[in-house]
């Protein structure tokens, strides 16, 4: 089974009480990926996650809890760095596909690392860009069997 990059929005939903259905789905998706040892995050996702759970949620996490969650994710997932090559590739994708640079960075890190899937709410479900398939775990057509433990 292939590794799957989990975008920030999926990570944040697991702590966001405003939509209990999405919160439960995000938690299930993350736990399945962690159990199968296929979860991947980028440094960008970890920093965006920290910022969002500390200051953007209606019930933000405490500084210690936010740091503990980033630590847990960094130990449980493979963490991909943002390199110069990733930035250049993201700039190309931002131009070629009219993507926001932050979304293009997620795509470029996945592509350059050979990660075939990105779980995100921020792209069209099942869209493929140069070998990277976007999957929205909250979409009605999302196949949970993709996350099965092997």
150 residues of the chain, pLDDT tens digit each: 699 999 999 999 999 999 999 999 999 999 999 999 999 999 999 999 999 999 999 999 999 999 999 999 999 999 999 999 999 999 999 999 999 999 999 999 999 999 999 999 999 999 999 999 999 999 999 998 888 765
Q: What single string gives the DSSP state of each residue in 28-59?
A: HHHHHHHHTT-EEEEHHHHHHHHHHHHHTSSS
Task: Give residue 63's domain range.
Answer: 4-139
Q: Indicate the number of domains in the chain.
A: 1
Give the pLDDT score at 149.
65
44 close to 24: Cβ distance less than 8 angstroms = no
Alpha carbons 27 and 78: distance in angstroms, whole number: 18
Give the pLDDT score at 145.
87
Does residue 57 sit within a domain? yes
Whole-model pTM: value is 0.95
Q: Any idea what the CATH number is for the domain that residue 89 is in?
A: 3.40.50.1010
């Amino acid at each position: 089974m292939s590794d799957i990059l989990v975008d920030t929005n999926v990570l944040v939903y697991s702590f966001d009480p405003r939509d209990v259905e999405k919160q439960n789905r995000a938690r299930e998706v993350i736990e399945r990926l962690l159990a199968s040892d296929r979860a991947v995050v980028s440094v960008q996702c970890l920093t965006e996650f920290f910022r969002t759970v500390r200051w953007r949620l209606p019930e933000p996490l405490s500084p210690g809890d936010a740091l503990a969650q980033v630590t847990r994710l960094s130990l449980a997932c493979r963490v991909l760095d943002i390199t110069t090559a990733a930035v250049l590739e993201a700039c190309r994708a931002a131009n070629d596909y009219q993507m926001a640079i932050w979304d293009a960075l997620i795509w470029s890190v996945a592509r350059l690392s050979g990660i075939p899937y990105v779980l995100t709410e921020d792209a069209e479900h099942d869209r493929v860009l140069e070998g990277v398939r976007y999957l929205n775990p909250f979409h009605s057509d999302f196949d949970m069997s993709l996350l099965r433990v092997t």
